[in-house]
Amino acid sequence: MEQLTTSLAPPRAPSNKAAPASSNQQGAGSVTKRLSNELMTLMMSSSPGISAFPKSDGNLFEWIGTIEGAPGTIYAGLTFRISITFPPNYPYVAPTLKFETPCYHPNVDLAGGSICLDILQDKWSAVYSVQTILLSLQSLLGEPNNASPLNSDAAALWNSPDDFKAQLMRHYRPLKDDSA
Amino acid sequence: MATDALRTQVAAKWQSSFVRINRNQPGISGLLSFSQAWDIATEFVRPKDLNVEQPRNYDMKAIQAAYDVVNQSRRLPVLLETFLDQVHQKFYLIINEVEKFITEYERTSDPQVISKLVARLLLWYKTWMPAEELGPTITSAYTLAFQTRVFSALNSSFVQGFKTLCASTLPPSDPTAQAPAPDSALWEAFETLGLLDRYESIIASVGYEHIEAHVLANCTGQWAEPMLEGLRTWMSDKIVPWMLLMYARGATSTDDARAMLQNVGSRFDFHMAKTLCDLRTREIFDIIIDFPESAGALSDLKECLQRVDQRAALVQALRKANRKRLLHPGADTRLILTQYVATIKCLRIVDPPGVLLFKVADPIRRYLRERPDTIRCIVSNLVGDDESGDSLVDESEPIQPLQQPELEDYSDPNWEPEPIDAGPAFRTNKPSDVISTLVSIYDSKDLFVKELQVLLAQRLLAITDDNTEKVEKERRNIEILKIRFGEAALQVCEVMLKDMTDSKRIDGHVQSQKNSIVHPTIISKHFWPLLEASNIVMPGQFQTLQEQYAREFATFKPDKKLRWLPHLGTVHLELQLEDRTIEADVPPLEAAFIELFSEKSVWTIEELVAGVGSVDRMAAVKALLAWVDLGVLKEDGDDKFRLLEVAEEKSTARETSRAAPAAPELPPFSSVQQQQAEQMKVYWKFIEGMLTNLGSLPLDRIQTMLRFAPGYDQTVEQLGTFMEAARREGLVSVKDGVWKLTQKS
């Protein structure tokens, strides 16, 4: 025996129509709101092996993420730290993601940590969120796109798992408990 | 070796001495008469043994002449010395006697022995006293010598006896007993012998002890009337006359006496106040329990505290008593609250600025904050939902808005500085009403408002049968509470009340369209506290009824959706069985079960539970047993129930056994605590997230980072407690104040 009054329904997610350049302050406010909502969603969802959190309490635009290699893949049991930087006009422009932990992977630049993933470049859409990006990254680890490698050595080795694993472990650095 | 010069000098001295004593008499007749006079004079002042010699009568003229002769020869000082030497030599006589008396006292412990001793000493003293004519010098020298010797002979037994003797002269504290006649002779003797000055502290302690005993005997446990006035009267009637003998001796007029007594009198008065104060301090916890019957004791205490600086002792005693007798798990929260309120009222009498209260209340408040049911207790008291009927709030107290701690108004002409013993955390809290004080136990009134909503929801949903009167009563309550908590805080409650009336209106409309026996209470989910969900699906005709009603509702209010809470409410049933008809008001679950029995007459519990969707097995058994009690069902082997179409013999007996239907249970709302626990789960996710990504963090960083969590309102202390709990569960570990997640193995 319960009545839901529509007038009191929770406010809808911020409208995507607002042009990012229209009002800088309002834009920043709505980006912050979007990011807070994404954080809340991410925290409340329990996707195994992916997580992210703002770096400091003052800045919602810099996050740190953690990805665990999915079980059954060659990356199983390894944990990678990722930095996520959101542009001021997020979500119209994709965030920048970088591996902080060295990651030996066909689509990851071993030295710089930059990632070659289509949804972070030309395929980006405002409907993606931190959670979907992290999930995509997690699956990218197990299923690399060897057609457009950033690390051609890794792409070449992909089909010989033992050698690949050896290279991977040579570069891998386990996470330290460093206070952020 | 004597030179001529020396010889001449000695001769000259000799000559002058001779001339002085011979007083220019012819030949040595002067010398002879001096010698005679010396003998008479020394004999006259010679200390005599009282036990041997009778006092003799002297020829005062001859003695006078003899002294004149001695004086003329300027030998009086020598005479004095001789006399004092003799006193010392003869003093063994007195010492012997003193020892005899003291030995006797030690044997009998009779203060009268001491009294006799004093009298005897006085006799010795007077007998040996040189005549007044000899001038004050010799008298005082004698007195000094005598007292010195006597005091050296008096040991501790004498002191004790002396004390007892003094005490025996005091008026007894029993008012009916005859006071001993003032024995002024005894006191004079004391004074003459110098005992008063020497043993003044002992006499004073006799007075103090007497006062103490009197106060304890008359005031212990007597709290109804102020005692101080009576005690003061007693002092001036009984003690002052006694004091007059000792302290105002030699007073010529009453004014004189008053001036002499002023100093010592105020000391005695102080002691009386202190004794009473100590007594009341010991009794304070029980005095507070007895309040308001103990108002007299409190006004005494107030007056005493102004005279005696025992405030710290009072605070300590009360805190200790509270810790021991009140703030333990065995005490009911209601009881603690009642005692707290009484403490507030009592200490406001004793100390209006509230410093004592602040110090005493602090541990109580901290303890209450830890109790889970404190808020519920206070709130149920606020809405008058109290079985015991004895309310914390004084009915006569005017209802007033909650008082917020306000800044001091220094421009107030009546401003007073904080009392000197106020601690740094002390806030001058204006005498505020009890409810404000209770609500201020918590940092915000939000908790109260939330609990209030839960309570109101329970009470509103428990109302059946269109009982508008009860709704009106709740409305009145809310109106009163609005004055306290403010209009805005109780808006939600307002909506809840409006839902109640709206329900009736909507129901009226729906009924007019299509008559239904369902009368739902329609509540706005957004404004009501979380109701515990239920998965019951009403079977058979109930479901049909619900669906019909929902359809009508949807046409009336197309923008709203009706979601049933089938586990709430009651169902009036009429069961037509083969041999009888049973009418009953039952909870929905029981109705659902009996509805299922209309399909077939034997069901297992599992089948029944499946038939109504999903329900807790315990609840199911309880509902079935209710029907068994009514003689409708019968337990038929393991977990099976059978419908009794024909009543069994014993069923009548059973029916009477269920004399009164159990009181309807209150609808299960999630309490504030449960809601808080839900909130904490959300916060935990955030903490987990930040610790996963940022490594280890100190507590204050976690606290600031938690501002990302919506609605986070915990203090860093609360967070600390929470983290500590998480640590005990093995979720996190802490090292050097830095928290990190425990590695999952």
Q: What is the mean pLDDT of residues B6-22?
A: 83
8 Å CB contact of A176 and B696: no
DSSP output for B344-407: HHHHHHH-TT-HHHHHHHHHHHHHHHH-TTHHHHHHHHHTT--SS---SS-TTSPP-PPPPP--
The predicted model gives B381-404 an average pLDDT of: 59
Q: Measured between beta carbons, which residues in chain A are less than 8 angstroms from residue B568?
A: 1
Could you confirm whether A103 is annotated as catalytic?
no
Amino acid code (one letter) for B692:
T
- Alpha carbon distances (Å) from B145 to B81, B90, B125, B138, B139: 12, 12, 11, 10, 10
Number of residues in chain B: 745
pLDDT of B71 above 80? no
Q: Find which of B690, B696, B740 to mutate to test the A interface (most A CBs within 10 Å of its CB).
A: B690
Give pTM, 2 decimals.
Answer: 0.58
Q: Which of B418, B436, B438, B420 is nearest to B428 (CA)?
A: B418
Predicted confidence band of residue A83 (pLDDT cuts 50, 70, 90): very high
- Residues in chain B with CB shorter than 8 Å from the CB of A40 are 709-710
| Residue B705 with chain A: CB contacts under 8 Å | 53-54, 56-57
Cβ <8 Å between A3 and B705 = no
pLDDT of B7 over the 70 cut: yes
Report pLDDT digits (tens) over B598-618: 888 788 888 888 877 777 777
The reply to whether residue B689 touches residue A40, judged by beta carbons under 8 angstroms, is: no
In the numeric block, the tokens 């004074």 are attached to B191
> Does residue B455 contact residue B376 with C-beta atoms inside 8 Å?
yes
Indicate if the pLDDT at residue A173 is higher than 50: yes
Predicted local confidence at residue B438, as pLDDT: 79
Q: What is the pLDDT of residue B98?
A: 83
Q: Compute how many other C-beta atoms are within 10 angstroms of the C-beta atom of residue B493.
A: 24
Name the burial class of residue A143, with classes exposed (0-12), middle (13-18) and buried (19+) by CB atoms within 10 angstroms of its CB. exposed
Three-state DSSP class for A96? Answer: strand
Question: Which of the given ranges, B315-329, B452-466, B580-594, has the highest pLDDT on average?
Answer: B315-329
Residue in B257, B343, B351 with CA at minimum distance from that of residue B303 = B351
Interface of A with B (CB under 8 A): 1-6, 8, 36, 39-40, 42-44, 51-57, 60, 63-66, 81, 175-180
Contact assignment for A178 to B695 by CB distance below 8 Å: yes
Q: What's residue A15's pLDDT?
A: 41
pLDDT in tens, B115-172: 888 888 888 888 787 766 667 777 888 888 888 888 887 778 888 888 888 777 777 6
pLDDT over 60 (residue B543)? yes
d(CA B519, CA B553): 12
Residues of chain A positioned with their CB less than 8 A from the CB of B710: 36, 40
Q: CA B197, CA B493: separation in Å to the nearest integer? A: 79
- Whether the pLDDT of residue A62 is over 60: the answer is yes
CB of A62 closer than 8 Å to CB of A56: yes
User: How far, in Å, CA of B739 to CA of B720, rounded?
Assistant: 10
Pairing of strands A59-68, A50-56: antiparallel
Enumerate the residues of chain A whose CB falls inside 8 A of the CB of residue B523.
1-3
Contact B526 A8 (CB under 8 A): yes
B738 closest CB neighbour out of A40, A57, A179 = A179
What burial class does residue B129 get, using C-beta atoms within 10 Å of its C-beta: 0-12 exposed, 13-18 middle, 19+ buried? Answer: middle
B521·A1 Cβ contact <8 A: yes
Per residue, the 3-state secondary structure of A1-52, as one string, reads CEECCHHHCCCCCCCCCCCCCCCHHHHHHHHHHHHHHHHHHHHHCCCCCEEE
Residue A40 has pLDDT above 70, yes or no: yes
Is some CB atom of chain A closer than 8 A to the CB atom of B126? no
Nearest residue in chain B measured CA to CA from A35: B708
Report the residue of chain B nearest A57, measured CA to CA.
B705
Shortest CA gap A60–chain B (Å): 9
Is the pLDDT score of B233 beyond 70? yes
Question: How many helices, marked H, and strands, marked E, lie in chain A?
Answer: 4, 5
Residue of chain A whose alpha carbon sits nearest to that of B531: A2
In the prediction, which pLDDT does A5 show?
Answer: 40
Is the per-residue pLDDT at A2 higher than 60?
no
Given this model, what pLDDT does residue B498 score?
Answer: 85
Which position among A115, A116, A135, A168 bears the catalytic label? A116
pLDDT of residue B741: 85
A107 near A150, Cβ under 8 Å? yes
- Contact residues, chain A, for B569 at CB < 8 Å: 1
Which of B499, B525, B696 faces A179 most closely, judged by CB atoms?
B696
Half-sphere exposure of B269 (CA within 13 A, CB side): 17
- Please report the residues numbered 553 through 572 in chain B whose beta carbons come closer than 8 angstroms to any beta carbon of chain A: 557, 559-565, 568-569
For chain A, how many residues are written? 180
Nearest CA in chain B to A44: B685
CB A103 within 8 A of CB A138: no
Asked if residues A133 and A95 have their Cβ atoms less than 8 Å apart, the reply is yes
CB contact (8 A) between residue B522 and residue A66: no
* pLDDT one-digit tens code per residue, B259-269: 777 777 888 88
Distance CA B73, CA B67 (A): 10
Q: Does B523 touch chain A (CB under 8 A)?
A: yes
State how far the alpha carbon of B97 is from the alpha carbons of A5, B50, B94, B118, B162, in Å.
110, 11, 5, 11, 17
pLDDT score at B1: 60
Tell me if chain A has a CB within 8 Å of the CB of B742. no
Gap between the Cα atoms of B94 and B153, Å rounded? 9
Q: Give tens-digit pLDDT for B413-436.
A: 777 777 677 666 666 555 566 777
Contact A64 B521 (CB under 8 A): no
Mean pLDDT of chain B: 78
**Rounded Cα–Cα distance for residues B658 and B629 (Å):** 7
Q: What is the pLDDT of residues B718-727, one digit of tens each?
A: 888 888 888 8
SS (H, E, C) B157-181: HHHHHHHHHHHHCCCCCCCCCCCCC
CA–CA separation, B258 and B262 (whole Å): 6
Cis preceding linkage at B329, omega within 30: no
Distance (Å, whole) CA B282 – CA B697: 50
Residue B650: predicted pLDDT: 52
Q: Looking at the DSSP assignment, which residues form a beta bridge with residue B531? A: B669
Cβ <8 Å between A1 and B694: no
Q: Which amino acid is present at B415?
A: W
Minimal C-alpha gap between B307 and chain A (Å): 58
Taking 50 as the threshold, does the pLDDT of residue A10 lie above it?
no
**Beta-carbon contacts of residue B427 (< 8 Å; ≥ 6 apart):** B358, B405
> What pLDDT is attached to residue A170?
86
Residue A11 has pLDDT above 70, yes or no: no
User: What angle, rounded to 10 degrees, do the helices at B374-382 and B333-350 form?
Assistant: 70
**Alpha-carbon gap, residue B492 to B473, rounded angstroms:** 17
Closest CA to A103 of A122, A119, A121, A81: A81
CA distance B606 to B611: 8
Q: Do B523 and A51 touch (CB under 8 A)?
A: no
Lowest mean pLDDT among A1-15, A84-98, B15-29: A1-15
Structure tokens at B648: 């069994």
Mutate to test the interface with B, among A1, A4, A80 (most CBs of B within 10 A): A1
| Mean pLDDT in residue range A140-162 | 84
Mean of pLDDT values over B228-256: 76
pLDDT at A84: 92
CA distance A125 to A112: 25
* pLDDT value, residue A85: 92
> In terms of DSSP bridges, do strands B571-576 and A59-68 run parallel, antiparallel, or are they unpaired?
unpaired
The encoded tokens of residue B497 equal 């009340």
The arithmetic mean of pLDDT across residues A127-152, rounded, is: 86
- Give the integer Cα–Cα distance in Å for B456 and B454: 5
